[in-house]
Every structure is written in structure tokens, then in C-alpha cells.
């Protein structure tokens, strides 16, 4: 029964593992894009300009209100045309190809960005206002204020939330299998179809996702510990 997982040309074991590697790669790049978008749109939401707040609000409402599958399809089919349209404005007339990995990263990154926006905004809000004022009074600004005082606190508060966003992102990458990117989900569908053994391949896929989840939990837990040095946990109070 386990012959199907043989490594090498006769079995699907190595293909499934490569699928897992692809899942981790596309999840990580999506999360990075997501956090970047999250920082930008959180800044928009916290800004004094109505237009910026409105843009950020529309972005998070739309992404959180329509199914992830549709977001991915829309970017997959509309993404290249949109990029080419923009390129034409700048005078580039050729064809621009966005490969499955790029499209997948952009789509899942956009979803992940909407959730990150809320997490980061919440974290910034929870830094006491006095800290900004004290920092400014001490003559700090720019990197010294934000890089050394505010960011470490935001990072600490946001970390558990980002851990949740990672979990959402990891699972959403299963949907980009529709764009042809061979990650765990697509690989197990191909193998299940080819061998007519769906049970064993979907079980293998479940185990791979749980393994990635377990490993990333360990990573986020240790990161949380590192950033909360010097803080007393709530449970201990």
C-alpha cells in the first residue's frame, strides 16, 4: 500500500515532499508580502487623511468579504491584463508573463495583507500614546523613535496575531492549486487521480499540513518568548 510513496521515478513520495517545499515557499513569500501590505494599510488606517483611510477600508472589506477562491481567480485571470495595461501606460508594449508562483504570491499575499492590516493596526493602537510623546520630548524621531522604541513593542504585541495570519495564509495556498502551481494540494490531487487512491494521498496531504503547522507553531512560540523577555505574561498575573 505504501509503494505509492516510494522516492524516485516509481512513486509519489518525492513529488509530495517537493509539493510541501513549494507550499512553504509560497506561504512564506505570501506572508512577507502580506505583512508589507499590512504595514502600509495599517499606516493608512491610522493616518489623518480621509482618502487613505477610505482606501484601506475598501481593501480590507473587499478582501475579507469575498471568497478567497474568487480573489485568486480574479488575480489569476485579471492580473496579467492589469499589469500589461499599467505597463502600456509607461510605454512598454510587450507581453508580460506572471508565472503561477508570482500570481499565487500576489493573490494569497493580498488576502494575508488584509488580515495583517488589522493585526498591526491593533498592535500599534495598543502602544500607549505617552510613549510617542515621551520619545519626541527626548528629541527622538525617525528611526530612533520608531525603530528602537515603537517597533519592538508592536512586533511583540502583533506576533501572536501574525502567527494566526500565517496559519490562514498556509491554508489559503491550497487554493492556488487552481492556477497550476504544484504545491501539496495540487500534487495530491494529481496523484489521487492518477493512482485512483484518493484516501491515501489526501491523508498524506493532511499529515504534511499538520507537520508544517506544528513546526511553525514551535517557531512562533520561540519568537514570542524572545520578544517578550522582560514582560510578565498575562496568565501569571
Partner 1 sequence: MRLELMYESFFKIVEGIPLTLQVVSISTILGIFLAVAVALMRISGNRLMSLPAYYFVYLIRGTPLLLQLYFVYYGLSQFEAIRESILWPILKEPYWCGIITLTISTGAYSSEIIRGGILSVSKNYIEASGALGLSQIKTFLLITLPITVRQALPAYGNELILMVKASSLISIVTLMEITGIARTIISKTYAPVEIFLVAGSIYLVINFIIVMFVNLAERRLGIEKAT
Partner 2 sequence: MISALSTVAFADGHWSTIKIGTEGAYEPWNFTDSDGNLVGAELDLARDLCARMNAECEFVQQDWDGIIPALVNGKYDVIMAGMSVTEERKKTISFSKAYMTEPARFFALNSSPLSTFSSAKNLNLDDDGDSTSGTISALNNAMKGMNVGVTVATIHEDFANKYLDSNLKVYPTQDEMNLDLAAGRIDAMLCDVGTAEAFMETAGGSDVVTFGPNVFGGLLGEGVGAGIRQGDADLKAMFDKAIADAAADGTISKISMQWFGKDLAP
Contact call for residues 86 and 98 (beta carbons, < 8 A):
no
Cα angle value 55/176/27 (rounded, 5°) = 75
Q: Does 102 bind partner 2 (CB under 8 A)?
A: yes
* Chosen residue from 61, 99, 131, 144 binding partner 2 by CB under 8 A: 99
What's the DSSP call for residue 144?
A: I
What is the closest distance, in whole angstroms, from the C-beta atom of residue 223 to partner 1 in the complex? 19
Q: Which region holds residue 161: left if phi is over 0, alpha if psi is between -120 and 50, else beta?
A: alpha
Q: Does 78 bind partner 1 (CB under 8 A)?
A: yes
* Chosen residue from 16, 26, 41, 68 binding partner 1 by CB under 8 A: 68
Cα separation, 152 vs 228, in Å, equals 10
| Span near partner 2 by CB under 8 A; candidates 42-50, 122-130, 186-194, 221-229 | 186-194
Site for partner 2 in 160-179 (CB under 8 A): 178
Nearer to partner 2, 9 or 130 (CB): 9
Cα separation, 38 vs 119, in Å, equals 8
Cα separation, 166 vs 184, in Å, equals 17
| Span near partner 2 by CB under 8 A; candidates 39-47, 123-131, 190-198, 211-219 | 190-198
Question: Which of partner 2, partner 1, none interacts with 202 (beta carbon under 5 to 8 A by kind)?
Answer: partner 1
Residue with cell 495564509: 169
Nearer to partner 2, 128 or 180 (CB): 180
| Radius of gyration, CA atoms only, the chain | 21
CA 129 to chain centre: 29
| Span near partner 1 by CB under 8 A; candidates 2-10, 42-50, 63-71, 135-143 | 63-71
Binding site for partner 2 (CB under 8 A): 4, 8-12, 15, 18, 73, 76-77, 80-81, 94-99, 102, 178, 180, 182, 187, 190-196, 198
Amino acid at each position: 500500500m505504501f509503494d505509492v510513496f516510494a522516492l524516485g521515478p516509481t512513486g509519489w513520495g518525492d513529488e509530495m515532499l517537493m509539493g510541501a517545499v513549494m507550499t512553504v515557499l509560497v506561504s512564506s513569500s505570501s506572508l512577507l508580502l502580506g505583512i508589507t501590505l499590512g504595514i502600509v494599510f495599517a499606516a493608512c488606517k491610522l493616518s489623518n487623511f480621509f482618502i487613505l483611510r477610505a482606501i484601506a477600508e475598501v481593501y480590507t472589506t473587499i478582501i475579507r468579504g469575498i471568497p478567497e477562491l474568487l480573489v485568486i481567480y480574479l488575480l489569476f485571470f485579471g492580473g496579467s491584463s492589469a499589469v500589461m495595461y499599467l505597463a502600456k501606460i509607461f510605454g512598454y508594449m510587450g507581453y508580460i508573463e506572471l508565472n503561477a508562483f508570482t500570481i499565487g504570491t500576489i493573490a494569497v499575499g493580498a488576502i494575508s495583507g488584509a488580515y495583517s492590516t488589522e493585526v498591526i493596526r491593533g498592535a500599534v493602537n495598543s502602544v500607549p500614546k505617552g510613549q510617542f510623546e515621551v520619545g519626541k520630548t527626548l528629541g527622538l524621531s525617525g528611526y530612533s523613535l520608531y525603530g528602537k522604541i515603537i517597533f519592538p513593542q508592536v512586533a511583540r504585541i502583533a506576533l501572536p496575531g501574525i502567527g494566526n495570519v500565517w496559519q490562514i495564509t498556509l491554508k489559503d495556498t491550497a487554493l492556488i492549486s487552481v492556477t497550476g502551481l504544484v504545491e501539496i494540494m495540487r500534487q495530491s490531487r494529481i496523484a489521487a487521480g492518477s493512482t485512483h487512491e484518493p484516501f491515501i494521498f489526501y491523508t498524506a496531504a493532511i499529515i504534511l499540513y499538520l507537520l508544517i503547522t506544528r513546526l511553525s507553531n514551535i517557531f512562533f512560540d520561540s519568537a514570542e518568548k524572545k520578544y517578550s523577555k522582560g514582560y510578565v505574561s498575562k496568565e501569571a498575573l
